[in-house]
Amino acid sequence: MNRSTQQEQMFVPEIVTFGETMALMLPEDVKGIEYSSHFQSLFGGAESNVAIGVARLGHRVGWFGRLGKDPLGRMIVKKIRGEGVDVSRAELTTEAPTGLMLREIIFGKTSVYYYRKGSAASLMKPEQLDESYISQAQYLHVTGITMALSESARETLKESVRLAKKNGVKVCFDPNLRLKLWSLEEARGALLEMAQEADYFLPGLDELKLLYATESFDEIIGKLRELPGVSIVKGGEDVTYIVDKTSVTEVPYFKAERIVDTVGAGDGFCAGFIAGLLKNYSLAEAVRLGNLIGCMVVQNEGDWEGIPTWEQVEAFLNNEKHVER
């Protein structure tokens, strides 16, 4: 047995997550895609963003998924591994290519263009899951994006949740509604069904208005109270809400000194919240940490690049002065 295999067998994840991570191309200047000739080659995916965030905050994380056995897939695996995330269960396949997304900002509005239909991740199947790997974790984090990729990917996510619950692993579910991938009608049934399975349901308030087809905050709270788990609602008026069967708790945001890029804020919040749970914080303290990470992320560019390390978080909380030179 070689050394890398021994290390993989010794690794016990505190949290496991999986889904599609794509190569990301961004114009290097402020021009739109059609007018740009120079692009940055990056990557992004909700689940791997969260995995990197939790790893930076000091915890053992495993991420897996299917990528093309191509330069983009190899680049993604290497970079996620380089962030301290275990990728021993990730697969590179010749069956299909790595997914791709392009993103541009025009007049202050972000637009994303997907090239992921028939991608390697869309071919995920339930029988490819490693139950023993999932069962070692304390938490399984999944998102509705995986459910939107294909029928087999949707069934894979459902099976992963079944395996987690069978083995006493708590489930965190972020619906991450993506209307460029499926219709609201199709998404509503699938996402609300999965919300029933979650120990921690992590929606945005705007998503809930669409999923429950109402603008009424009170009606939304009533629906959330019918769920068996706890709901953590992002995107409130300067607060994040914790909703259980008997109470609604408001946790204030941190104020950002400047907003550079809002992409990745939700994933940063989820990383902070889950890290808080792993640190045995109370729910309110875990949400507060999530709020802080989200605040720090929007002050930097990138999907995951702006997620801080635990040392940076402690420096912020302790109000340590930054020494420039």
Q: Which residues are catalytic?
A: 267
Helix (H, G, I), strand (E, B), or coil: what is residue 20? coil
Token digits for 36?
């740009």
Please say whether the beta carbons of 269 and 234 come within 8 A.
yes
Rg of the chain (C-alpha set): 19
Please say whether the beta carbons of 253 and 240 come within 8 A.
yes
Query: DSSP secondary structure string, 110-146?
Result: EEEEEE-TT-TGGG--GGG--HHHHHT-SEEEEEHHH
Helix (H, G, I), strand (E, B), or coil: what is residue 259? coil
The Cα-based distances of 82 to 41, 56, 158, 263 in angstroms read: 16, 11, 29, 22
Query: DSSP secondary structure string, 34-55?
Result: GG-S-EEEEEE-HHHHHHHHHH
Please say whether the beta carbons of 305 and 44 come within 8 A.
no
